[in-house]
Amino acid sequence: MRSIGRRHLWAALSLAALAALTAALAGCMPLAPSAASSPASPPPVVVSQPPISSVVARAAAALEAAYRQAGFGLIPARRPYRPSEPPALIPVPRSVYQVVLPNDPGSGYVVIYQAADPAAAQSLATAMQRYLESGFGETNFPTDARFAVQAYDATAVFGWYSPGASADPATAAAALRVLRSFGEPFPVVR
């Protein structure tokens, strides 16, 4: 009889602990979605970027003018984006923009890396070029990826698209041609 009493005691303690845990977890969950967080309209994502230097601002303005002349818009990225890149570019300050592609809103990212001077920008562009031509760098993008690696003043600029993954490959290709004509090219040969 004594063993039955202990079993009941352990069962009661287990149920009490489970009830306490359930109550604690229930207090962490919202009861109902609020009108502000309707599934039909998710809130815009705010991307925090470091302050833009005057060098990057000049490059972005010149690139935006080139895109505008070709009939495209260039805006600051609205969501986080970081391409696969070589170790030399990982610590480099950068700003991320996006070419406005109405039929392909998830594409068109352009990264402007800030270098110390034009020679350093060329070194960064060369590092990205070699990385993309390497076996490892190549595997981090679709096999049909097209790249633009450019040096402009004291910045290195990078963008890419994949014809197979693009909803509008012709428009994405036209946008990449604009980027490839900007500054000094560092063609990627795969």
Q: pLDDT class for 10, splitting at 50, 70, 90?
A: very low
The distance of Cα 31 from the centroid of its chain, to the nearest Å, equals 33
Give per-residue pLDDT as tens, 123-171: 999 999 999 999 888 889 999 999 999 999 999 999 999 999 999 999 9
Give per-residue pLDDT as tens, 56-97: 999 999 999 999 999 999 999 999 999 999 999 999 999 999
* H or E stretch covering 175: helix 169-180
Q: What share of the chain is helix, strand, coil (3-state, %, to 5)?
A: 40, 15, 40
- 67 vs 9, which has greater pLDDT? 67
| Token representation of residue 93 | 């300050």
Distance CA 151, CA 153 (A): 7
- Entry pTM: 0.73
* Contact status, residue 109 vs residue 83, Cβ threshold 8 Å: yes
* pLDDT of the residue at 138: 81
